[in-house]
A and B are shown apart, each in its own frame.
Chain A
Amino acid sequence: GAGVSQSPSNKVTEKGKDVELRCDPISGHTALYWYRQSLGQGLEFLIYFQGNSAPDKSGLPSDRFSAERTGGSVSTLTIQRTQQEDSAVYLCASSPGTGLTNYGYTFGSGTRLTVV
């Protein structure tokens, strides 16, 4: 596609439920990032996929968070047993890999997660 697509755009879930957030990167982009932005806060790095290398999971805040990337394309971020502090906008970004586009990294519009 022309850009990075994230779904759903909004998700309201009950505390304790599991959620899955999806990211479709730009076709051919080998690098994919997940970030979290809490209300009025900066971007917190979560996880980074680069080609076939093992992902950098150093930013995942707890073992309730996991992510996978199937076929080197679509990525799913899963949050198990959601807590209210998980409420945030989850952003996905992609790039061609070790090279960069003229526009750096391309971000999706994000998924706004609200845990009630």
Chain B
Amino acid sequence: AQSVAQPEDQVNVAEGNPLTVKCTYSVSGNPYLFWYVQYPNRGLQFLLKYITGDNLVKGSYGFEAEFNKSQTSFHLKKPSALVSDSALYFCAGKAQTDKLIFGTGTRLQVFP
């Protein structure tokens, strides 16, 4: 069965520092991978996706993620965190013809 794991419940980072939110996947075949963000009392917003092509994917709000097939990872990164980046981040994945499965979410807290 396919699965997506986010090993950290919470990540704390100081404003201006780089941030990483970790995600690993277990998906058969070539995976489709996604990152979504959820701000308080708001719906899920799409950040970026990996389907094929370059392993480094750039998305909204300065975020990027690197697809690493050998490590089955798709970590979310940003070079310089903002306080406004504080939110709940979800990694999701699917096989081409299967359903989309989400990780348990990681709460990012950026301190001024």
Contacts and interface: CB of A to CB of B under 8 A. Distances in A.
Given A42-B104, A100-B49, A109 B43 contact: yes
Contacts, number: 47
B99 A110 contact: no
Contact of B46 (A33, A43, A104): A104
Interface in A25-67: 33, 35, 41-43, 45, 48, 56
B105 interface: yes
A77 interface: no
A103 B46 contact: yes
Contact of B99 (A33, A106, A108): A33
Nearest to A109: B43
A110 B44 CA distance: 9
Instruction: Report whether over half of chain A's contact residues are helix, strand or loop; otherwise say mixed.
Output: strand
A91 B34 CA distance: 17
Which of under 10, 10 to 19, 20 to 34, or 35 or more describes the interface residues of B? Answer: 20 to 34
Given A56-B99, A100-B49, A104-B49, A91 B44 contact: yes
A48 B51 CA distance: 20
A107 interface: yes
B96 A98 contact: yes
A105 to B, nearest CB: 6
A56 B100 CA distance: 11
Max chain B Cβ within 10 angstroms of own Cβ: one of A91, A93, A104, A107: A104
18 contacts: A35-B102, A41-B105, A42-B90, A42-B104, A42-B105, A43-B90, A43-B102, A43-B105, A45-B99, A48-B99, A48-B100, A93-B100, A98-B96, A100-B32, A100-B49, A104-B49, A106-B46, A107-B44
A-B pairs with lowest CB-CB distance, top 8? A42-B104, A43-B102, A107-B44, A48-B99, A109-B43, A103-B46, A42-B105, A104-B46
